Structure 1
Amino acid sequence: MAYTFPSRHRTLALASAGALTVLGLLSACGTGSDTVSSPQKVPGAAAPATGDATNGDTPPGAASGASTPADDSAARPDGSSGSTGSAPSAHSSGTRAAPQGTSAGSTRCHTSELRATVGRNDPGAGQENFPLVLTNVSSRTCTVRGYPGAAFVDASGKQLGPDPKRSPGSPSTVTLQPHESAWAGLTFANPEVSEARAATPATLVVTPPDERDPLRVRWTAGPVPVGGNASSVYVTVLRPGTGP
C-alpha cells in the first residue's frame, strides 16, 4: 500500500496547533520570578509578619522567646489562641497570695473581725461572774479556740493587778458565723467579802486567742481585786453563745 503525504494545508494546521499548546504550557508554568504571587500581609497589629498563622509556620520572634499578645485571636481566622509563650494571658486564672502573716487556709478570727462585750453579772456566794463575749462582726465564718487574754487598766492605761489566771478546762474550737458569739467566764471574789485590795478600772482590755491586737471594753461593774488576799481573777475557756 502506498504512503500518501498529507496536504500542505493540513500540515500548517497541525503546526499551528502545536505552537499554541507550547505557549499555553509556558504561560501556566511561568518563566520568571515576577509571575509568582507574593505572600500577603494579614491586617492588624496581632497578625504575623508574613504568611498565614494557621498553616503551621512559627510566627517570627516565637523561636527566640519573644512575648506574644495575651489574646492573639486576631492572628487566626478561626479565633483560636495561638500563644505558645510561658507568660500567662490576661484571662488565665491564678491563686491570689494570702495576706502577710496569715496562711491561705486560715479560719481563725482576727481581732479586727471581733467585738468584745461584758455581759450581766451572775453573782453567787461572794463570787462575781461575768461572761466575756466575743462576737464575729465580719462577713466570713471564722473560729476561736482556748482562752482570751484579759487585763484591767485605769484611765491612764496602767494595768491594775496581775493578769487573770486560767481556770482548768478543755479548749475546743468554736466556729462563729457572722453575728455569732463565744463567751468565757471572768470571775473573782467580791473585794468587800475577801477584803482584798481593790481598784475600779476604767477599761477591760481583751485579746482574742492567738492574736496580738487587743479590744477594749468600758468597765462599769465597780471595783475589782488587785492585790492582797484572794486577789486572783480567773478566766475560763471560750464556748459557744453569750453566757451560761
Structure 2
Amino acid sequence: MTHTSPSVHRAALLASAAAVLGLLTACGSGGGTSGAPRQVSGTAAPATGDTTAGTTSGTAPGTDSATNSGAAPPSGAATTGSARGTGGTRTTATSTRCHTSELRASVGRDDPGAGQENFPVVLTNTSGRTCTVRGYPGAAFVDSAGRQLGPDPKRSPGTPTTVTLRPGSSAWAGLTFSHPQVSGARAATPAALIVTPPDERDHLTVKWTAGQVPVGGNASSVFLTVLGPGTAP
C-alpha cells in the first residue's frame, strides 16, 4: 500500500475544502445580491379619469368615481355643461317673460263709440333682449296721492296668446268703459293710470289726461282685454 505523507494529505484536504466552498458560493448568489430592490424600466401611464371640461384629469374631488387607474366614467354620465367635480348637468331655467323694468307703458288715443270710451294701453319693450307677454295686464286709476279710484277693471272674454316683443316692439290691451255722462255713474278725474305687466308685481305709472272715468255706481265697470301685438286695433 502506498504511504502518503502527512503534508501531501493536508494539501489534498485543503484543495477539496476550497472546491466545496466555491460550489456553495456559486449556488447562493442567484446572479445578484438576494433582497436588493429592482427598478423597472419605463414610466407609469397617466391616469385618464373624467375628461369633462372644467374638471381636472383623474378622479374629480369629492366624487365616488373611478380612481387614477384610467377607468372610464360610468355609462350615461353627462359631459356637456357639467358642474365642476360632480359629473352631473347643471340646468338653469331661463325665463323669456318681459319684466316691468324692461317695459314702458303708455295710453294711446281714445276711439269712442256709442257712449263707450276705448283706449289702447300699450307696453313697449325698452330692453336689449327679446321677451314675451301673455294674458291680461293689471290696471287701476289713482289720484295724486296714489289712492285707487274705483274698483279693479274686469276682464273681457278673450283667449290669451303669447306675444313676442323684440327690442322696441309693443303689445296693447283695450281699456273700455262707459262715459259717466252717458251712464250716470259717479265719476272722478284720475291723476294717473298704473299698469302692471302680466305675472309681474311692480307697476308702471302713466299720467292720465283723458278726463273723467267711472268710479262708482251700477255702470262704473271698466274692462280690459287680453294683450295683442302692436299699439292699437
Q: Matched residue of 1:201: which SS? A: coil
1:183 to 172, 175, 180: 172
1:171-218 deviation digits (Å, cap 9, x = unpaired): 111111111111000011111111211111111111111111111111
- Distance in 1 of aligned mates of 2:101 and 2:91: 20
From 133, 143, 152, the counterpart of 1:144:
133
Scaled by the length of structure 2, the TM-score of the pair is 0.65
**Counterpart in the other structure of 1:194:** 183
Gaps spanning 5+ residues in structure 2: where? 1-31, 34-38, 48-53, 63-79, 84-89
Confirm whether residue 83 of structure 1 aligns to residue 50 of structure 2: no
CA distance in 2, matches of 1:87, 1:212: 43
Partner of 2:201: 212
Alignment of 1:54-65 (within 5 A): 55-56=44-45
Following TM superposition, the consecutive aligned residue runs of length 4 or more in structure 1 with deviations greater than 4 angstroms are 92-98
For residue 125 of structure 1, what is the amino acid of its counterpart? A
Partner of 1:124: 113
Query: Is 1:156 aligned to 2:130, yes or no?
Result: no
Q: State the AA in 1 paired with 2:141.
A: F
Residues 55/177 of structure 1: CA separation in 2 closer, same or farther (3 Å cut): same
CA RMSD, Structure 1 to Structure 2 (Å): 3.1
The change in CA–CA distance for 1:85 and 1:116 in structure 2 (over 3 A counts) is same
How many pairs are equivalent? Answer: 173
Deviations 1:2-33 (A, max 9, x none): xxxxxxxxxxxxxxxxxxxxxxxxxxxxx99x
The CA distance in 1 between the partners of 2:46 and 2:230, in whole Å, is 69
Distance 1:57 1:155, change over 3 A: closer
Secondary structure of the 2:148 match is coil
Looking at CA atoms only, which structure, 1 or 2, has the larger radius of gyration? Answer: 2
Structure 1 unpaired stretches of 5+:
1-30, 33-37, 39-51, 59-69, 72-81, 99-103
Q: Distance in 1 between matches of 2:61 and 2:154?
A: 56
Find the aligned partners of 2:212 and 2:81 in 1 and give their Cα distance.
Answer: 58
Deviations along 1:111-168, one digit per CA (max 9) or x if unpaired, are 1111111011111111111000011111111111111110011111110000001111
Between the aligned partners of 2:181 and 2:220, the Cα distance in structure 1 is 11
Distance (whole Å) between structure 1 residues aligned to residue 91 and residue 99 of structure 2: 18
Give 1:114's match in structure 2, choosing from 82, 99, 103: 103
Counting aligned pairs with the same residue, the percent is 70
**Distance between the aligned counterparts of 1:146 and 1:139, measured in 2?**
22
Q: Which amino acid aligns with 1:207?
A: T
